[in-house]
Amino acid sequence: MDSTDYGMLVYTPSQLARSTFLYVQHIGRWKYDDDYVITREGFDSYLFQYTFSGRGYLKHEDREYELLADSVILIDCRKYHEYGTLSNEQWDVGWVHFDGNGSASYMQAIHDKYGPVIRLPVPHRFIQHQRSLIEIIRGNGVNLEAEAALHIFQLLMEVFTAGTTSPFRQWYSGASKRWPRESTSIPANSLCRTYFRRRLGPRSKHEQIPLYESLQTLDRVLSH
């Protein structure tokens, strides 16, 4: 997966990583269609998601945010949230799902300072860290998990020290108004694999998900 590829890598951390490090769960990039929307809660993961282009929205803790190019969201996927495309164009996003030692404290510190949506004055730093994480996972080196933990930590610290608050936009008020689309619910403690369009690589401890003509959601659930 290089800078022009769209797809996802899933990683299964060791017991050492689960107990000691910050670790990647899955990572990737995709262009979502204009009707894409997902609702989720009870998923044991934290999400960094960066908007390359297009417009999206995030519903989080009774507020709604507009997601523009160069904005980043950081959320706890255990809590109810919803995000999706906002305009009649594709929404190009890159993401890192992660967890591990200290994740909750780091996320809370960033939320206390900025909230869940952050504007980055130097957005290419997120892209660099994400690409490095992809290369580390694909390289499958002996220090993979420690190196990945370092990049996640650096990304968290750069957001904390260099981010700016992104103003939220209230899109509607009142319970009678709804988004004009159906949402996809993600079961608690589950990971829905998403299939993309691209050539395959070999599967191993980290897994490159097959890439098909359109997004599909698998019924089977990964335990972690």
Mean pLDDT of the chain: 77
**pLDDT confidence bin for 64, thresholds 50/70/90:** very high
Q: Is the pLDDT of residue 103 over 50?
A: yes
Whether 2 is in a domain gets the answer no
Which pLDDT score, from 0 to 100, does residue 169 have? 53
Whether 96 is in a domain gets the answer yes
Residue 64 CA neighbour count, 13 Å, CB half = 15
Whether 200 is in a domain gets the answer yes
Residue 65's identity, in one-letter code, is Y
Whether 16 is in a domain gets the answer yes
Whether 222 is in a domain gets the answer no
Please work out, in degrees rounded to the nearest 5, the angle formed at the alpha carbon of residue 143 by the alpha carbons of 202 and 78: 75
- For 153, the domain range is 7-208
**Alpha-carbon distances of 124 from 75, 119, 130, 166, 217, rounded to whole Å:** 20, 12, 10, 17, 30
Q: Average pLDDT of 42-62?
A: 95
Q: Average pLDDT of 185-195?
A: 36
Q: How many domains does the chain have?
A: 1
Query: Residues 110-122: pLDDT tens digits?
Result: 999 999 999 887 7
Q: Average pLDDT of 70-85?
A: 95
Which pLDDT score, from 0 to 100, does residue 212 have? 30
Contact between residue 197 and residue 211 where contact means Cβ atoms under 8 Å apart: yes
CATH of the domain at 68: 2.60.120.280
Q: Which of 84-88, 108-112, 205-209 has the lowest mean pLDDT?
A: 205-209
Query: Residues 161-186: pLDDT tens digits?
Result: 877 776 545 444 333 233 333 333 33
**pLDDT confidence bin for 139, thresholds 50/70/90:** very high
Phi, psi for 162 (deg, rounded to 5):
-120, -5
Query: Residues 195-204: pLDDT tens digits?
Result: 332 322 334 4
Q: Which of 72-76, 95-99, 215-219 has the lowest mean pLDDT?
A: 215-219
Whether 218 is in a domain gets the answer no
